[in-house]
Amino acid sequence: MNGSMSQQQIPQQQQLHSQQQVQQPQQRFQPPLQNPSLNKYLPPNVQNVQHEQPNTALAGQNAPLNPAYLQKSPLHYQKNALMNGGSTHSSRTASPSLNYSENIASSSASSSPNPGKLPSSSYMAPPPLANVSMSSPMQPQLNRSIGSNLGSGPNLAGAGLTPRANPNLNHLSNSMQNLTIQQGIASGPPTPLSSTAAPTGMNTNQTLPRTLGYSHPPTSALGSQGTAAAQRFAPGSMAYTSPVTSTATTPASVPQLQPNNMNRLNSAAPIQQQISPQNFSNTSPPVNQFSPNANMYGINNNPAPPPLSASQHPLPPSMQKPTPNFAPPPTSQQYQQPPTNQHFQQPPTSQQIQPPPTSQQFQQPPTLQQTQQPSNLRKPMYPPSNARPPVSQQQTPVYGTQPQPQQQQPQSFSSPSQYQSQPQSPATFNGYPNSGQLQYQGVYNQMSVAQQGFSKLWGQDSVDLMQQRHILPTERVQPPPIQLNNQFYEAVNCSPEIMRCTVNKVPESNNLLQKSRLPLGILIHPFRDMSNLVVINCPTIVRCRLCRTYINPFVHFVDSKMWKCNLCYRINELPEDFQYDPVSKTYGEVTRRPEVRSSTIEFIAPSEYMLRPPQPAIYLFLFDVSIIAQQTGYLEVVCDILSKRLESMPGDARTKVGFIAFNSEVHFYNIAEGYSQPHEITLVDIDDIFLPCPDNLLVNVKACKDLIKDILSQLPTRFASSHDSGSALGAALQVAFKLMSSPGGRITVFQSCLPNKGPGALQSREDPNNRSAKDILHLNPATDFYKRLALDCSGQQIAVDLFLLNQQYSDLATLSGISKYSGGCIHHFPLYQKTKPQLVETLKRSFDRYLTRKIGFEAVMRVRCTRGLQIHTFHGNFFVRSTDLLSLPNVNPDAGYGMQISYEESLTDIKSVCFQAALLYTTSSGERRIRVHTMCLPVTASLTEVMYSADVQCIVGLLAKMAVDRSLSSSVSDARDAFINATVDIFNAFRLAQNLPSGNSGQLIAPKNLALLPLYIAAILKHIAFRTGTSTRLDDRVYAMDAMKTLPLDQLMKYIYPEFYHLDALFYNNANENDDSDQQDPPVLQLSAEFIDSRSLFLLDCGTLIIIYVGLNVPPDILQNVLGVQSTAEISDYCYGLPSLNTPENESLQAFIESLNENKPYDPIIQIIRDTSTCKSQFFEKLVDDRSESSLSYYEFLQHLRTQVK
């Protein structure tokens, strides 16, 4: 047989790979201290931790199935042509031309290695009995994978599910002697019955004794799941599920803020340079204790001498508060009082820093003075020197005293007047709703005080970035509100989480927009998981007859029968039943309809919105089972989660799933309802792909649950013995397209290497030596095969989602086409290995979320905008079917979209513009729905207002998307230049708009709402997507670019500029036994190492990863209470997961992390890095405000901007 001959050499390869399979997949988050190899010798119940919940019911069902495995042999279809080496085309038509081999042996013969060559001698000794004698109830076949995995204990463990296979030593030894690799998913332990049909040479594998080891109790798999880690990662821990309890909701905290307000006032005085006192909690008790007693260190820092810089001051920033030197004047206090809960005062903002020539200057703290004060607070006694220059501290004047005018500022303000008029100071950065104050450096005094006061009143204050060193507010940046001068409109307007515009006041003409140099566009997160969505079912959906706009809160009702469309201004009639109010069941009041009361609404669509009956949920999974994929060991993780989540995947009774595995052949799984076992069909001819059998490849989940779970339990080891390095992704996708083409649905592809066989084969393009080159090549696809296929899929309502778990370069630039244009999503796990627990865990969580999240099928999204505007460019994963219509075969809640807007005509005489995104989709339960979001924005003719209404995060998000396009069409360096130019242009435009003096006056004046722009741009220039000069794998870069295009804005901002928290506030709050209602978020810090304190804990929230950084000298009690370790030395280098302890510190940290994860698709894993860890660099590379070898620091970037802004 040709097939068997061609695979004779497999055993040798197996020897090679056996060593690689030795690695034990890390169970959960066991600390890496534990030697992985030890696991293999643990009792079975320990080893089976991965199977968190063995399905005992299934076990019972499977046991009786086993005889069937023995007796019934798999249908192994081999194409006639290939088997005979003959022509291929004749076999296409019907099954008779397929070679059905009704026995196990032929299937195993086609791929089983020659027994004589089996590597028994080269393998290690058989493993201890305990190792192999465990078996899980989910494992119906015993010796399926013995041949491949028996050889060594490590090998067994490494091959994932196999260790659970063999119940019986006798069994084992037999199979060892026979050295048969069982092939075929149905080729179970053979019986004489099946052996009759088997070729004689293959009889060896049928001599296995039929001592089935199902006697072991199902608890063996349950064994050690009670570990803390396993509990923590229990399937219930999904994102979006739990309401956050730890967010600070404190009207009660407002009174406590008064000391803080005073502090703020102090720091606003231009004369006074203060580094705030140590204060560990911003809630009242510490403050109250502190302030009056002056138990703080106030550091009077002289900003006047230029070299003087307070950057590396020894205090952890969040522990510092501006000293309450002044009694707070009541008048200014109302300005100061933040409307909501006040977090920590932002200590950095209380410092005045002269713009440093370089960033290094910031690193020199010697002028700081600090005295250690005895405090009655519980706080760590910080050793004064922690790799820091000695500093001395000086006691601050007591609260209520006058400031010490130690410095002469160049400004002409006298200190008291200054501080009293602090709210009027134009440069005070006080506009963010909750921001700590930023100190005024009287830089441009051209404005009169009255003017400054007015401008502040109107939210039009600006800030000199050169003076304002710490620009980031201490709380999370909130989107600026939209002011429509209509309370109802403002209240009802679309949530900024769903839709945001780069400007909150739209310029009235293209000319004005060009003057402002701002990009105009909107970012939409249309299918976001929402808790309070209004769903209505009405017979007629009211829409404009001309532009088909859905009725929304911003329409104008001419009278009770007519409404005027707010997009095209046509006057439409209202249907009779629209006047019926479903809530009060009365007629007459149209404004009480839910359509008019909510700008986000979901209609249940009547049948005219269907071109065909709503499709069922159909999921097809494509698994790469090449040798590289086997080595990564992803299959067992994926199959495990898949079988657990089978019932919780969205869908109704019609839900179908199917599985296709591919290496250099394509394997189908025929799961007919009546079968006792799944049948595998292998298609060898991949160049001319066809569907081997028309049905039963996609089967109903409910009807065939057991068979599906059967497949999933066998798949991970099914190909462990075939060392096929080919990956025929293109062929598998083609056949998947054929399989799915009539109903549509979702194809999930797991790929772990470069596709190198059949159609769509690719060559490696990346030069590893060139990863840090200036010009980045090969960002564009090498072939349009995947794009064309994606377009075909899109036409048939199929989305392809890609999970890339690659070890080497896999040309994501080309492969991503399959998802980009079919509305899919891409998940990338670079360097995935089952030995890396963090990657395994991330894959688990991400895939878990992927399976269970909402899904919309056969979706289209249309974005309409007011006449005069049009959509210029779309960003995201979809196919643009017409100028305003996106074709989204699938839509998922984690996908965001961006649109650039351009002008068709001027908007003069229009008061407001609206954007309406309507998403028409089929729910997984077969219901057609329309989700409509409408956003209304005012129009302005004033350039200043445009500038002051810009939304910096949205701008950065849109710029990132545009830059990705630029990188692809031109080059990355062009995109980088474009970033800088855009920033410079915006500041130039602002300077012109404000008529500020030109020339290098040492200032960089920015509107306060755009003050963060340079910070974000500097960070994005160092982002993996756009950085140059730093070694970056091409796939990582391409993935990052795709993420820029598709992430919703909130996640994108974390991806660009991770949130960095100083955690001490959590712990010391608790230490002071405040009740939980006072719990406040820790302060957000800028991403600079200057804030790092060796005595504190820090948390970095990167979106998909949370890093907790443990300083070297964290007090032991904190360590004990938070992390459960005695000293930092006990934290291992690779420490993942936060232990749950029953201490208030730990609980508050858990609650805080939960609040961070509130809006994330899945809970990210937590990595704990101690100061001396080897992965410290992972943490420090995220601190993007600092300088690196190849990039500027934030302050250098500012300097650069300043020279450019003329």
Partner 1 sequence: MAFNFGAFSYIVALIADAFLIFFAIFHVIAFDELKTDYKNPIDQCNSLNPLVLPEYLLHISFNLLFLFGGEWFSLCINLPLIAYHIWRYKNRPVMSGPGLYDPTNIMNADNLSKNMREGWIKLAVYLLSFFYYLYGMIYSLIST
Site of interaction with partner 1 (CB under 8 A): 780-785, 787-788, 791, 795, 821, 870-874, 879-883, 885, 902
C-beta of 616 vs 755, nearer to partner 1: 755
Measured in degrees and rounded to the nearest 5, phi and psi for residue 217 equal -70, 150
C-beta of 869 vs 936, nearer to partner 1: 869
> Which parts of 674-820 are beta strand (E)?
679-683, 698-700, 745-751, 798-804
C-beta of 791 vs 996, nearer to partner 1: 791
Read off the tokens for 1036: 């990582």
Instruction: Please tell me the distance from the alpha carbon of residue 1158 to that of residue 731, in angstroms, as a whole number.
Output: 40
Nearest distance, CB of residue 737 and partner 1, angstroms? 15
C-beta of 193 vs 885, nearer to partner 1: 885
**Half-sphere exposure (Cβ direction) of 1169: Cα atoms closer than 13 Å:** 19
Q: 534 forms bridges with which residues in the sheet?
A: 601
Instruction: Please tell me the distance from the alpha carbon of residue 354 to that of residue 1166, in angstroms, as a whole number.
Output: 37
C-beta of 846 vs 877, nearer to partner 1: 877
C-beta of 196 vs 902, nearer to partner 1: 902
Read off the tokens for 895: 């996908």
Instruction: Please tell me the distance from the alpha carbon of residue 712 to that of residue 709, in angstroms, as a whole number.
Output: 5
Nearest distance, CB of residue 1032 and partner 1, angstroms? 22
- The answer to whether 1103 and 1160 have CB atoms below 8 angstroms apart is yes
Nearest distance, CB of residue 52 and partner 1, angstroms? 42
Nearest distance, CB of residue 764 and partner 1, angstroms? 17
Nearest distance, CB of residue 1063 and partner 1, angstroms? 46
- The answer to whether 896 and 1048 have CB atoms below 8 angstroms apart is yes
C-beta of 427 vs 813, nearer to partner 1: 813
- For 195-229, letters b (16+ CB in 10 Å) and e give beebeeebbbbbebeeebbbebebebbbbbbebeb
Nearest distance, CB of residue 887 and partner 1, angstroms? 9
SS3 562: strand
DSSP state of 1191: B
C-beta of 785 vs 948, nearer to partner 1: 785
Nearest distance, CB of residue 649 and partner 1, angstroms? 30
Read off the tokens for 907: 């908007």
C-beta of 793 vs 1192, nearer to partner 1: 793
* Residue of 1201, 1196, 1078 whose CA lies nearest to 1144: 1078
C-beta of 399 vs 785, nearer to partner 1: 785
Nearest distance, CB of residue 1150 and partner 1, angstroms? 45
Which residues, in sequence order, are CB contacts of 1075 under 8 Å at separation 6+? none
C-beta of 545 vs 872, nearer to partner 1: 872
Locus of tokens 């004698």? 133
Measured in degrees and rounded to the nearest 5, phi and psi for residue 849 equal -60, -40
Instruction: Please tell me the distance from the alpha carbon of residue 333 to that of residue 680, in angstroms, as a whole number.
Output: 75
Which residues, in sequence order, are CB contacts of 202 under 8 Å at separation 6+? 104, 105, 106, 108, 109, 112, 180
Nearest distance, CB of residue 759 and partner 1, angstroms? 11
Q: Where are the alpha helices (DSSP H) in 202-252?
A: 219-222, 228-232
C-beta of 331 vs 902, nearer to partner 1: 902
C-beta of 536 vs 885, nearer to partner 1: 885
Q: 1061 forms bridges with which residues in the sheet?
A: 1084, 1099
Instruction: Please tell me the distance from the alpha carbon of residue 106 to that of residue 780, in angstroms, as a whole number.
Output: 45
Instruction: Please tell me the distance from the alpha carbon of residue 794 to that of residue 880, in angstroms, as a whole number.
Output: 10
Task: Using the Cα atoms of residue 812, residue 815, residue 817 and residue 823 in order, give the sign of their dihedral.
Answer: negative
C-beta of 358 vs 780, nearer to partner 1: 780
Q: How far is CA 675 from the centre of its chain?
A: 41
Nearest distance, CB of residue 113 and partner 1, angstroms? 39
* Residue of 51, 58, 30 whose CA lies nearest to 221: 51
Nearest distance, CB of residue 911 and partner 1, angstroms? 26
C-beta of 821 vs 915, nearer to partner 1: 821
Output 1137-1140 pairs: Cβ under 8 A, ≥24 positions apart.
1137/29, 1137/229, 1137/232, 1137/233, 1137/841, 1137/1165, 1137/1166, 1137/1168, 1138/1108, 1138/1166, 1138/1168, 1139/228, 1140/228, 1140/232
C-beta of 596 vs 793, nearer to partner 1: 793
Nearest distance, CB of residue 778 and partner 1, angstroms? 11
Instruction: Please tell me the distance from the alpha carbon of residue 506 to that of residue 947, in angstroms, as a whole number.
Output: 10
> Which amino acid is present at 947?
M
SS3 334: helix
Nearest distance, CB of residue 821 and partner 1, angstroms? 5
Instruction: Please tell me the distance from the alpha carbon of residue 322 to that of residue 346, in angstroms, as a whole number.
Output: 8
Q: 928 forms bridges with which residues in the sheet?
A: 922
C-beta of 532 vs 763, nearer to partner 1: 763
Nearest distance, CB of residue 871 and partner 1, angstroms? 7
Read off the tokens for 1001: 């006056």
Nearest distance, CB of residue 822 and partner 1, angstroms? 11
Q: How far is CA 467 from the centre of its chain?
A: 35
C-beta of 616 vs 781, nearer to partner 1: 781
